[in-house]
Structure 1
Amino acid sequence: MASLDIIASLLGIFVAIAGMTIALYSWRPTGNKNNLHSTTEDARTQTFTLAIDKIGSKSAGDRIAGIKSLAELADSWPYGRQACIDILCAYLRVPTKIGVDISDGSTGQNEALGRGRLEESSVRGSVLRTIAEHLHENASSRWHGCVFDLTGAVLDGGTFSGVAFTGGTKLIFRNAVFGGGTIDFSGSIFKDSVVDFSGATFSGGTVNFSRTEFSGGLIIFRNSSLAGGFIDFSDALFRDGEIDFSGSSFSGGAISFSNSSLSGAKIDFRRAEFAGGMVDFRGVNNFNSPPKFDDFSSGRPNKLFLP
């Protein structure tokens, strides 16, 4: 089965689940009567279903149109917003190997496969941009306080630069795979929110937290694996909140806190395994709230650098 068929099948399951969620949230008592579906709610449900049909299409243009339609619906439909977001995130969790099972190695097939991958990359980029645009403080419609579940997704880039993670927003990358590209959080604000990379694998690319401000909330890298790539906290301001690297493995790549200020946030590296990757706190401006490490009975790891 081609991956687009898998997308359509999986989205069908999500539609059923989301439909029950919408029915629950759409229920209203009106006077002495229970109104399960008003005419407006029925129209919105129909728009929701049509948008998902487009997202399951073999045409990249149709898939992007479906994404736009779902985003517009989420903007105007507070009670169905989380269901719309769940479908957008579900799309990103579906495997990306478009056409691999039908390629016969010929030039024509390989060219078609290449086009398919480029088109799919564009579609996935559209989903990530849509999410990020709605998390800016100046967005006309803000999706703060929602849950964005990208558990197990394979990602090669995305921009959340300048975003405000506030109001209980949860962005979940549990067990996700980052093999290249840049996930950019530079210049963002984290307050009363959760960004969860627990169990994620970093084998290449960059996760950029430079110039971010942490004034509350939780950033979780617990039990993650850094085998390559770069996690950049340079010039970040840690006022409050928690950054949790406990139980993580650093066998390659690097994490830098250069020129950052550790004035209040709690940073936890306990139970972490340092097996070749670099964790660098040199050049930190303020070390009033140092990170927590285990006692290194046999000496500090060679590539763990402290001020």
Structure 2
Amino acid sequence: MKKKFDTDFRRASGAGFDGLVFVTNQELSVSQRAILSANVSGGTMIYHLERVVAVLDQPRMARVRQQFLALDERRDSAGGSEFFGLYQKAIDHLDSSRAHTRLGGLRVLSALGQDYRGQRQTVVDAICGYLRTPWDSNDRSEAEVRRSALGILAGHLRPFRGEDSLPQSTSFWEGVSVDLVGAVLHEARFDGCEFAAADFERATFIGSTGFRGAHFLGTARFVHATFGGWWADFRGATFSGVTWFRWVNFTVNALFGSARFRLNAEFSRAQFGEDADFTGVEVGQVGWFTHNIFHGSALFRDARFKFANYWCVDFEGHVDFAGARFTGAPPGCVEVRYQDTQNGHAHCWPEGWINELRSLPSQEHRTPPWW
């Protein structure tokens, strides 16, 4: 780097400039910068590329980005060759072996999507593609980069709608879909986000996973997903399209309180390792709970279903359907098994179920024969 710095300074001086602004993608300490500057006679300013990108990525720097990146003033422009040239450079940064360079590439992508409205789905696809790539979860620097990628993605999906239902966030990108099939996601916090469509099939969620108050406008797929760590929070979420939680493994508390499913709620063959809370949930059509295992409490208090089917279900903890209503027809009950509670709290079942239930002996294997 010293040779490059000295050469650039001599060229700047030879061209009649009073000083040199030197931008590097290598982190330099204050003392290292001082040593470089001391070797030349003239004004110098040394900047770290990642720091420059972080400043330019701020919403208030939009005009500076337009000038710095030579962007068209028309923010709705699809971009053409200008966009794709910058986009490809950012993608190349994501392949770097240096964590700070990869992070810089993500921030450039974020800035490009902010400036080129017509290319926002392209940018989201690139960020999702990066998150889908396999990685070593013990690599702390990469964990930080991926945490930042999730933060960037969520930041552009969160509208902060006001009382007039209009987005209050200037960085919100409306109408984009995410494809995170098979991704390993640490501390995914999508609370309050809006998805045109979302595919999390076979994704692994680790840590505190939040979709609280999220809105899925189209299809939402969580088929074969695994939730581990602390909790999976879908409280207050709205699912407006076809929704799939089939074969999901919740090894943590599954929180769906006050969630709204405007069509079906499909939880067939899902396994709930801890408590499952569906208190106040609303399902517009059919709630499918077939071939399920509830290892902890199963709470459906004040739930609202048009129809619901509970076929081949094991309840191993406390069960509470107090206040639940089924407006279309009584809920289906076939091969539903339960264990007597150990804490003295009686189960509360839907009307008409009591004669259809089967007691599940405590010594019986936890996996039912139909699983």
Would the TM-score normalized by the shorter structure come out above 0.5?
A: yes
2:289 corresponds to 1:262: no
Does the aligned pair in 2 maintain the 1:51–1:70 contact within 8 Å? Answer: yes
2:215 corresponds to which of 176, 179, 189: 189
2:195 corresponds to 1:173: no
Does the aligned pair in 2 maintain the 1:281–1:305 contact within 8 Å? Answer: no
Which stretch has the larger CA shift, 216-225 or 42-51?
216-225
CA drift at 1:195: 2.4
1:233 corresponds to which of 246, 249, 256: 256
Q: Distance in 2 between matches of 1:213 and 1:203?
A: 19
Does the aligned pair in 2 maintain the 1:185–1:208 contact within 8 Å? Answer: yes
2:223 corresponds to which of 198, 202, 225: 198
Q: Name 2:337's counterpart in structure 1.
A: 300
Which stretch has the larger CA shift, 149-158 or 198-207?
198-207
Q: Distance in 2 between matches of 1:42 and 1:223?
A: 44
CA drift at 1:118: 2.0
Which stretch has the larger CA shift, 46-55 or 72-81?
72-81
Structure 1, unmatched stretches of 5+, are 1-37, 99-113
Q: Name 1:46's counterpart in structure 2.
A: 85
Q: Name 1:156's counterpart in structure 2.
A: 186
Does the aligned pair in 1 maintain the 2:273–2:295 contact within 8 Å? Answer: yes
Q: Distance in 2 between matches of 1:53 and 1:261?
A: 45
Q: Give the alignment of 1:1-307 within 5 angstroms.
A: 41-97=80-136, 117-137=139-159, 138-165=168-195, 169-178=196-205, 180-190=206-216, 192-210=217-235, 212-214=236-238, 216-226=240-250, 228-234=251-257, 236-238=258-260, 240-246=262-268, 248-250=269-271, 252-258=273-279, 260-262=280-282, 264=284, 266-270=286-290, 272-274=291-293, 277-278=295-296, 280-282=298-300, 284-289=301-306, 291-294=308-311, 297-302=334-339, 306=349
Runs (4+) of structure 1 exceeding 6 A deviation are none
Normalised to the residue count of structure 2, the TM-score between the two structures is 0.57
Q: 1:281 to 1:72 in 2, by over 3 A?
A: same
- Structure label with greater radius of gyration: 2
Q: Distance in 2 between matches of 1:92 and 1:219?
A: 23
Q: Distance in 2 between matches of 1:306 and 1:77?
A: 54
SS of the residue corresponding to residue 145 of structure 2 reads: helix
Q: Distance in 2 between matches of 1:237 and 1:251?
A: 17
Structure 2, unmatched stretches of 5+, are 1-76, 160-167, 312-331, 342-346, 351-371
Q: 1:41 to 1:263 in 2, by over 3 A?
A: closer
Which stretch has the larger CA shift, 63-72 or 194-203?
194-203
Higher helix share: 1
Provide, for residues 121-157 of structure 1, a one-character-per-residue CA deviation record: whole Å limited to 9, x for no partner: 1111111111111122233143332221110011222
Q: Root-mean-square deviation (CA), in Å?
A: 2.9
Q: Name 1:13's counterpart in structure 2.
A: none
Which structure would you say has the larger RCO, counting Cα contacts within 8 Å and 6 or more residues apart? Answer: 1
Q: 1:279 to 1:221 in 2, by over 3 A?
A: farther
Q: 1:64 to 1:289 in 2, by over 3 A?
A: same
